[in-house]
């Protein structure tokens, strides 16, 4: 396995955003809220859909990025310039001003988290890990524009052993691609993907171990976290943000146990209209599907402490 940072050229025939799209995106971004824009856009989606599968050129900072307008994440990023902003909030706060940090974006998809982190923490370096070949080509295209020399991409998934598995990819929402069976009523395709261990990625990487990790792998989190478990204590990773719909099930209990044993405290990530907040995992009255494991014994940044609730 080698980093995919030098793939075959990716030359999409990307169009510019239409005036109506620029106008709607600008109006949504002007709303005086931190969270809620994506929900509004989801409700409007049938009216403002960017139109069939195709590439769109999107201004981003001093550069421009290409996204797939026929995909859910791409559509939202094109108009709002972010996706899952609460995840980025926590990662930025956990970075604590560490301009030399390394983010492992596991399940990078179209790269929204990586792009946001590079914009918010300019010194951070990114290792984008994504098993879908076309998306890795897209990631290389965009990251080479946004942060040349400060990224690596790997066209793999992470697991407990080297193997090949079948990934089911939902039409119109490649962020929902899963190594488990998905809704048979939805149109989908499949792709055989390579699974490797975290140690193998680290052995190939020039950037060193991750100080921050984001995991969004649609039900495969317990496997990925198990694979990471033996490394986290050695890497001194500051924070691991992950999505899970398994709370209350044995697999989630195993995730919690392994992270606590590795030296982490777990928090639920919750949202109000204006803020991203963190509640201890024991606060069962605060429902969440996104969680963060914070390494014990580290001095938290002021931004992170402001998020924390008892």
Tell me the DSSP string of 24-36: HHHHHHTSS-SSS
* pLDDT score recorded for residue 4: 56
162-176: b or e for each residue (b if 16 or more CB lie within 10 Å)? eeeeebbbbebbbbb
Name the residue among 28, 47, 51, 52 with its Cα closest to residue 39: 28
Q: Quick one: pLDDT at residue 211?
A: 96
The helix or strand, by DSSP H or E, that contains position 132, with its residue range, turns out to be none
What's residue 57's pLDDT? 95
How far, in Å, CA of 15 to CA of 58, rounded? 9
Q: Are 215 and 240 contacting, i.e. CB atoms less than 8 angstroms apart?
A: yes
State the pLDDT at residue 69: 87
Please choose, from the candidates 113, 59, 107, the residue with its C-alpha nearest in 3D space to the C-alpha of residue 87.
113
Please state, in angstroms and rounded to a whole number, the distance separating the CA atoms of residues 28 and 284. 32
Per-residue pLDDT of the chain (310 residues; tens, 9 = 90+): 656 555 556 777 899 999 989 999 999 999 999 999 999 999 888 776 666 668 999 999 999 999 998 899 999 999 999 999 999 999 999 998 777 799 999 999 999 999 999 999 988 999 999 999 999 999 999 999 999 999 999 999 999 999 999 888 888 787 777 887 655 556 678 889 999 999 999 999 999 999 999 999 988 999 999 999 889 988 989 999 999 988 778 888 999 999 999 999 999 999 999 999 999 998 766 778 999 999 998 899 999 999 999 8
Q: Alpha carbon of 209 to those of 93, 104, 202, 249: distances in Å? A: 19, 9, 6, 30
Amino acid 122: pLDDT: 85
How far lies 62's CA from each of 10, 17, 58, 65, 151, in Å? 21, 17, 11, 10, 18
Distance (Å, whole) CA 117 – CA 127: 12
- CB 100 within 8 Å of CB 76: no
Cβ atoms 259, 267 nearer than 8 A = no
Task: Determine the pLDDT at residue 168.
Answer: 86
Contact assessment for residue 108 and residue 134, using Cβ atoms and an 8 Å cutoff = no
| Confidence (pLDDT) at 196 | 97
Residue-level pLDDT at 63: 92
The pLDDT value given to residue 246: 80
pTM of the model: 0.93
Q: Specify whether the CB–CB gap between 125 and 151 falls below 8 A.
A: yes
Eight-class DSSP state of 309: -
Q: What are phi and psi of 94, to 5 degrees?
A: -70, -25
pLDDT for 2: 57
Residues 127, 87, 304: CA angle, nearest 5 degrees: 105
Q: Specify the 3-state DSSP secondary structure of 129.
A: strand
Distance CA 71, CA 64 (A): 18
| Torsion angle (degrees, nearest 10) of CA 298, 108, 41, 53 | 170
């Amino acid at each position: 396995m080698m980093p995919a940072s030098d793939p075959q050229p990716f030359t999409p025939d990307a169009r510019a955003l239409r005036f109506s799209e620029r106008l709607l995106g600008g109006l949504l971004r002007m709303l005086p809220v931190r969270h809620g824009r994506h929900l509004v856009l989801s409700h409007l989606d049938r009216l403002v859909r960017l139109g069939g599968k195709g590439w769109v050129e999107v201004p981003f900072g001093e550069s421009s990025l290409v996204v797939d307008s026929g995909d859910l994440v791409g559509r939202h990023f094109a108009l709002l310039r972010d996706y899952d902003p609460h995840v980025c909030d926590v990662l930025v706060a956990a970075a604590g001003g560490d301009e030399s940090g390394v983010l492992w974006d596991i399940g990078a998809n179209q790269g929204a988290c990586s792009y946001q982190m590079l914009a918010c923490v300019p010194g951070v370096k990114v290792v984008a890990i994504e098993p879908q070949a076309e998306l890795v080509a897209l990631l290389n295209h965009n990251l080479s524009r946004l942060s040349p020399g400060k990224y690596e991409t790997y066209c793999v998934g992470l697991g407990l052993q080297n193997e090949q598995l079948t990934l089911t990819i939902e039409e119109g929402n490649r962020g929902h691609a899963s190594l488990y069976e998905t809704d048979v009523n939805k149109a989908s395709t499949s792709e055989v993907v390579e699974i490797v261990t975290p140690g193998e990625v680290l052995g190939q990487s020039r950037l060193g171990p991750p100080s921050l990790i984001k995991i969004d792998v649609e039900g495969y989190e317990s496997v990925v976290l198990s694979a990471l478990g033996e490394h986290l204590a050695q890497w001194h990773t500051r924070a691991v943000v992950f999505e899970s719909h398994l709370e209350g099930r044995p697999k989630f209990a195993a995730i919690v146990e392994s992270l606590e044993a590795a030296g982490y405290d777990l928090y639920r990530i919750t949202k109000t209209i204006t803020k991203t907040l963190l509640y201890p995992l024991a606060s069962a009255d605060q429902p969440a599907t996104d969680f963060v494991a914070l390494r014990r014994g580290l001095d938290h940044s002021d931004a992170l402490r402001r998020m924390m609730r008892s």
